[in-house]
Amino acid sequence: MRLFTSALALFLSFVIAGASAPHGKFDIAARHNRLAQRAPSPLEARAAASTKKCINRKNKNALKSSTSAAPSSTKAITTTKPASTPKPATTTKKATTTPALAPEPVKQVTASGLIKVQSASCGPSGATKAITKLSGPNGNIDWLNCGFEGAGWNPPVVRMQDVITQSLSSALQSPSSPFKACSKYVSLFEKYGNQNGIAPIILASFAMQESSCNPETVGGAGEQGLMQITRDKCGGAPGGNCRDPDFNIRTAAKYFKGTLDDNNGNVLLSVGTYNGWVKGLTKARAFAAANTGCCRCQNNGDYLHQFFNGWCQNIDAYSAKLGKYFNLDRCG
The percent of residues above 90 in pLDDT, for the chain, comes to 65
Helix axes of 200-211 and 267-274: crossing angle, nearest 10 degrees? 30
Determine the Cα–Cα distance for residues 129 and 165; give it in Å rounded to an integer: 12
Q: Which residues, in sequence order, are bridge partners of residue 132?
A: 105
Distance separating alpha carbons of residues 61 and 40, to the nearest angstrom:
29
Q: By percentage, how much of the chain surpasses pLDDT 70?
A: 67
pLDDT of residue 47: 40
The predicted model gives 209-226 an average pLDDT of 94
In a domain, 47, yes or no: no
What single-letter DSSP state applies at residue 184? G
User: Once rounded to an integer, what is the mean pLDDT over residues 112-141?
Assistant: 95
Average pLDDT over residues 106-132: 88
Domains identified in the chain, total number:
1
Please state the rounded mean pLDDT for residues 301-311: 98
DSSP state at residue 214: -
pLDDT tier, 256 (very low <50, low <70, confident <90, very high otherwise): very high
Q: What is the mean pLDDT of residues 266-282?
A: 97
Q: Which residue has the higher pLDDT, 71 or 12?
A: 12
Residue 162 lies in domain: 105-331
- How confident is the model over 163-186, as a mean pLDDT? 95
Q: Judge whether residue 259 has pLDDT over 50.
A: yes
Whole-structure pTM value: 0.69
Looking at residue 10, what is its pLDDT?
52
At residue 221, the pLDDT reads 85
Q: How confident is the model at residue 267 (pLDDT cuts 50, 70, 90)?
A: very high
Question: Quick count: other Cβ atoms within 10 Å of Cβ 41?
Answer: 9
| C-alpha distance from residue 63 to each of 20, 49, 56 (Å) | 53, 21, 10
Within a domain: 29: no
Question: Is residue 124's pLDDT more than 80?
Answer: yes
What pLDDT does 112 receive? 72
In a domain, 88, yes or no: no
Q: Which residues lie below 8 Å from residue 151, measured CB to CB, with a gap of 6+?
A: 280, 282
Q: Is residue 327 part of a domain?
A: yes
The verdict on residue 17 lying in a domain is: no
303: domain CATH number?
1.10.530
Q: Is 121 a residue whose pLDDT tops 90? A: yes
pLDDT at residue 40, rounded to an integer? 42
* Interval 69-82 mean pLDDT: 38
Please give the C-alpha separations between residue 226 and each of 188, 247, 254, in angstroms, as whole numbers.
Answer: 12, 10, 14
- Please check whether residue 41 lies inside any domain of the structure: no
**Is residue 238 included in any domain, yes or no?**
yes
Q: Is the pLDDT of residue 168 over 70?
A: yes
Rounded to whole angstroms, the Cα distance separating 30 from 275 reads 143
State residue 315's pLDDT score. Answer: 96
- The tens digit of pLDDT for each residue in 14-62 reads 444 444 444 443 333 333 333 333 344 443 444 444 433 333 333 333 3
Identify whether 142 is part of a domain.
yes
Among 84-93, 155-164, 215-224, the least confident range: 84-93
Q: At what angle do helices 186-196 and 245-262 cross, to 10 degrees?
A: 30
- With 50 as the cut, is the pLDDT of residue 82 above it? no
Torsion 100-326-141-189 (CA) sign: positive
Mean pLDDT of the residues in the chain:
79
Smallest CA-to-CA distance from 105 within 327, 309, 325 is with 309
Is the Cβ–Cβ distance between 229 and 223 less than 8 Å? yes
Which of 46-50, 66-70, 104-108, 316-320 is most confident? 316-320
Per DSSP, the three-state class of 86 is coil
Q: Is the confidence at residue 269, as pLDDT, over 50?
A: yes
Q: Is the pLDDT of residue 85 over 70?
A: no
Tell me how far apart the alpha carbons of residues 233 and 255 are, in angstroms, rounded to a whole number. Answer: 9
